[in-house]
Structure 1
Amino acid sequence: MKAVLPSGFANRMLLAGGLLAGALLGAMPAFAQQPAQDEWHRQEEDRLHNDWAFLKRYAAANQQLPAPIPGVPRVVLLGNSITEGWPTADSAFFARRQPYEFIGRGIGGQTSGQMLLRFRQDVVALRPAVVVILAGTNDVAENRGPYSPTSTMDNIMSMVELARAQGIRVVLCSVPPAYDFPWRPNLQPAPKIVALNQLIEAYATKNRLVYLNYHTALADERQGLKQEYGQDGVHPTLPGYRVMEPLLQQAIAAALKRK
């Protein structure tokens, strides 16, 4: 017996089938991305268990790095994703002839504690004249646990002491402004960053260190990152880095003049 479909049912079935097919096709890019995301999470989990400070990140580059060039001060930039992303955002700044040899040692997402653990490998062993330390953003973001200003300052002070013991001059950076963290919303970081920067500046002043104030130059009226300097509210884009670059050069020059 031939089945008789209700009026309009066949058309609705065709439409439903088309919508289902479209939905599946539309989801295909997400399915295609899933293995890559799964692999990233697997690597991140493995790193947290087996290489918490990510010592492997620059291990090979450190071994291949030649000795410092006589007469050209080597400057290590130690930090998080803001430091790591700088050469990509403004490669021309690092490519042009500089009075310094810049060595970037930033790792995205890192806290001050992780930087401290790799400080000897990624800074001291490279024999720089100056180290520029930008730490604290991911502490405030609680990337590796609850935020403690005391612990963050302890880590920063330990890095300074390690550097000074090796005759390395230190530039301490303010934490750049952030009104909110996209990956850790509702932590209200802006006042915490302002308070942490006050601690960093006071410590730098007391110990005759150069304090590099990025925050004032980049902040809006809410103490967040100005829209024109960073689209996600945390990471500078090219205009933001171009504000930071002369401040960096001035701070390095000042550090080299100090005994």
Structure 2
Amino acid sequence: MNKNKLIIICLSIIILVSVGLNFLFFNRSRKFYLQLNSLQLNPLAIKFYPMDTNPKEIKNPNQKNVVFFGESRARGWNSPKDFDDFNFINRGISGQTTAQVLGRLNQHIKPLSADIIIVQIGVNDLYRIPIFPDNKETIIYDCKSNIKEIVSQSRQLGAVVIMTTIFPIAEVPLERKFFWSPDIVVKGIKEVNDFIYSLENEDVIIFDTKAILANEQGKVREEYSRDFLHLNRAGYKALNDKLMPILQEL
């Protein structure tokens, strides 16, 4: 193979890789642009769920209403099956921060007459620390304050709160590491989880998800991971297997 031909092949490969990366970054930029504009139009996503005063999810007044509340990790939580004493309702919305979840609590939770509220929130605040490193302390402080207020307002509605610790994360893919610093996010999760434990009392139960989901390195087990942030069905089943005995005691 002569030198000119080799140069042409190398340049062709570089161009193809460049086109591929540009296509990837364009799609990601477009996605974030659409999300940003959608957020500006409806910052709390209040209309994501029906605003009925008598929600159709409440079918049997003899059942306890259990609400999964929070962001995408709550949204993806599969309801346990074959437990007739409980009516499971989901009020998770993907991508939301603790401030957004707090802002919609009354509109989305109060009409449900919830007996038990299972809360999973926090990671969408904390993964922004590497993007805004100078705001680290403020982000963590606000995250803690919002969680505390969500627990307080849930208790004022008469519900028992099962406050889950923030799920651990899995291995972060290479393309995400341009914007993510896993070590910084993990430290933030630990700090907020330590705070979550301080909220425990008679009507606030702390549900330790790391003990169920994490491997020896503190990351989500591969068999439970859908991607670096989210669980698959096996992960939620593992959580439900530990959750149901708690619910049955309430």
Q: TM-score range by the shorter chain?
A: 0.7 to 0.9
Please name the residue that 1:47 is paired with: 38
CA shift at 1:150, angstroms? 2.0
Deviations, residues 94-114 of structure 1 (Å, cap 9, x unaligned): 554542111111111111111
Distance 1:173 1:85 in 2: 14
Deviation >6 Å, runs of 4+? 34-37
Which TM-score applies when normalising by structure 1?
0.73
**Which residues in structure 2 correspond to 1:231-242 (within 5 Å)?**
231-242=226-237
Cα separation, partners in 2 of 1:49 and 1:252, compared to 1, 3 Å: same
Please name the residue that 1:173 is paired with: 164
Cα separation, partners in 2 of 1:52 and 1:69, compared to 1, 3 Å: same
Preserved CA contact (<8 Å) 1:68 1:127: no
Please name the residue that 2:73 is paired with: 82
The aligned amino acid for 1:195 is: E
Preserved CA contact (<8 Å) 1:75 1:102: yes
Please name the residue that 1:107 is paired with: 93
Preserved CA contact (<8 Å) 1:179 1:190: no
CA shift at 1:50, angstroms? 2.0
Distance 2:53 2:29 in 1: 29
Q: Answer yes or no: is 1:59 the counterpart of 2:50.
A: yes
Preserved CA contact (<8 Å) 2:73 2:231: yes
Deviations, residues 151-207 of structure 1 (Å, cap 9, x unaligned): 1121111112212222111110011111555544224222321221111012124x6
Distance 1:141 1:214 in 2: 18
* Alignment match of 2:149 (pick from 113, 137, 158): 158
* Alignment match of 1:190 (pick from 180, 183, 186): 186
- In structure 1, stretches of 5+ residues that fail to align are 1-11, 88-92
The aligned amino acid for 1:227 is: E
* Larger deviation, residues 235-244 vs 66-75: 66-75
Please name the residue that 1:203 is paired with: 199
Distance 1:156 1:223 in 2: 23
Q: Answer yes or no: is 1:251 the counterpart of 2:242.
A: no
Distance 1:223 1:62 in 2: 43
Preserved CA contact (<8 Å) 1:82 1:106: yes
Please name the residue that 1:123 is paired with: 109
Alignment root-mean-square deviation, CA:
3.4
- In structure 2, stretches of 5+ residues that fail to align are none
CA shift at 1:234, angstroms? 2.2
CA shift at 1:43, angstroms? 3.9
CA shift at 1:41, angstroms? 4.5
Deviations, residues 34-72 of structure 1 (Å, cap 9, x unaligned): 89984x545412222121121121135777525462210
Which TM-score applies when normalising by structure 2?
0.76
Q: Answer yes or no: is 1:149 the counterpart of 2:140.
A: yes
Higher-Rg member (1/2)? 1
Preserved CA contact (<8 Å) 2:169 2:219: yes
Cα separation, partners in 2 of 1:208 and 1:66, compared to 1, 3 Å: closer
